[in-house]
Amino acid sequence: MKPNEVSIYELEKVEGGNSVLLCGLPDVGLVGIISVSHIIKELGMKEVGYIDSELFPPLVVFHQGEPTYPIRIFRKDNLLAVFSETALPPESLYPLTRLIVNWSKEKGLSMVVSLGGIGVPNRIDIDEPKVYGASSSQKLRDMILQKGVSLMEEGFLVGPYGLIAKHSKSLDVPNLILLAESFPNYPDPGAAASALEALKKFVPISVDIKSLKDRSDEIRMNARELMRKTAENMQRMGKSQEYELPLMYV
Amino acid sequence: MYRRCDKLFPADYFDIPARLRGYMDGCLEPLTEIQETDNELIVRVDMPCVRSKDEITVNLTEETVSIEAKMEKAVQYERWGTFQRGVRFFKYSKTFTLPTKIDPERAKARFVKNVLELRLPKKGRVFKIEIQ
pLDDT in tens, A23-50: 999 999 999 999 999 999 999 999 999 9
- Say yes or no: A184 contacts chain B, CB-CB below 8 A: yes
pLDDT band at B14 (very low <50, low <70, confident <90, very high): very low
Helix (H) or strand (E) holding A112, with range, is: strand A111-119
3-state secondary structure of B86: coil
Give how far Cα B87 sits from Cα of A220, B17, B49, B75, Å: 18, 16, 16, 8
Among A36, A26, A24, CA closest to A184: A26
Tens digit of pLDDT for each residue in A128-157? 999 999 998 999 999 999 999 999 988 888
B-chain CB neighbours of A186 within 8 Å are: 31, 33, 44, 46, 115
Q: What mean pLDDT is predicted for residues A116-125?
A: 93
Q: Which residue has the higher pLDDT, B124 or B41?
A: B41
Q: Any alpha helices (H) in chain A, and if so which ranges?
A: 31-43, 90-107, 138-146, 160-171, 189-200, 210-214, 216-222, 224-236
Q: Is the ipTM of this complex over 0.85?
A: no
pLDDT class for B19, splitting at 50, 70, 90?
low
- A72-80 average pLDDT score: 96
| CA nearest neighbour of A221 among B15, B72, B18 | B72
C-alpha A217/C-alpha A143 separation (Å) is 34
Q: How far is CA B23 from CA B17, B89, B98, B114, in A?
A: 11, 7, 24, 21
* A41: contact with B, CB 8 A cutoff: no
- With an 8 Å Cβ cutoff, are A224 and B33 in contact? no
Strand A79-84 vs strand A20-24: parallel, antiparallel, or unpaired?
parallel
Element counts in chain B: helices (H) and strands (E): 1, 8
Answer whether residue B26 shows pLDDT above 90. Answer: no
Average pLDDT value for residue range A96-117 = 96
Find out whether B115 and B44 touch, Cβ atoms under 8 Å: yes
Is residue B93 helix, strand or coil? strand
> Quick check: B46 contacting A, CB < 8 Å?
yes
Q: Is the pLDDT of residue B6 over 70?
A: no
Residue A224 carries which side chain, given as an amino acid letter?
R
Q: Phi and psi of B51, rounded to 5°?
A: -80, -40
B contacts of A191 (beta carbons < 8 Å): none
Residues in chain A: 250
Provide mean pLDDT across the span A162-171: 96
- CB-based contacts of A3-6 (< 8 A; 24+ apart in sequence): A3/A54, A4/A53, A4/A54, A4/A55, A4/A95, A5/A53, A5/A54, A5/A95, A6/A51, A6/A52, A6/A53, A6/A55, A6/A92, A6/A95, A6/A96, A6/A98, A6/A99
In total, chain B counts a number of residues equal to 132
Taking only the tens place, the pLDDT of each residue in B71-109 is 998 887 766 565 666 678 899 999 999 999 999 999 999
Interface mutation vs chain B, best among A34, A221, A243, most B CBs within 10 Å: A221
Which pLDDT score is estimated for B84?
Answer: 60
Under an 8 A CB cutoff, do B48 and A183 touch?
no
Q: Is A185 on the interface with B (CB under 8 A)?
A: yes
**What is the pLDDT, as a whole number, of residue B74?**
83
H or E element in which residue B106 lies:
none
Of B31, B42, B77, the CB nearest to A185: B31
- Which 3-state string (H, E, C) describes A18-83? CCEEEEECCCHHHHHHHHHHHHHHHHCCEEEEEEEECCCCCCCEEECCEEECCEEEEEECCEEEEE
Is the pLDDT at B41 greater than 90? The verdict is yes
CB-CB contact of B46 with B30 (8 Å): yes
Which chain B positions have a beta carbon within 8 Å of A231's beta carbon? 31
> From the list B31, B77, B115, which residue is nearest A124 (CB)?
B115
User: What is the rounded CA–CA span in Å between residue A187 and residue A197?
Assistant: 18
Residues of A in contact with B46 (CB under 8 A): 183, 186-187, 220, 224
Contact A124 B46 (CB under 8 A): no
Other CB atoms within 10 Å distance of the CB of residue B41:
20
> B49 vs chain A: nearest CA distance in angstroms?
6
Q: How far is B86 from chain A (nearest CA, A)?
A: 15
Per-residue pLDDT reduced to its tens digit, A167-202: 999 999 999 999 999 999 999 999 999 999 999 999
Interface check for B84 against chain A (CB to CB < 8 A): the answer is no
pLDDT of the residue at A4: 77
What's the rounded Cα separation, in Å, for the pair B45 and B68?
Answer: 11
Query: Are the beta carbons of B93 and B116 closer than 8 angstroms?
Result: no
Separation CA B26–CA A19 (nearest Å) = 46
Packing angle between helix A160-171 and helix A90-107, nearest 10 degrees? 40
Tell whether B114 lies on the interface with A, counting CB pairs under 8 A.
Answer: yes
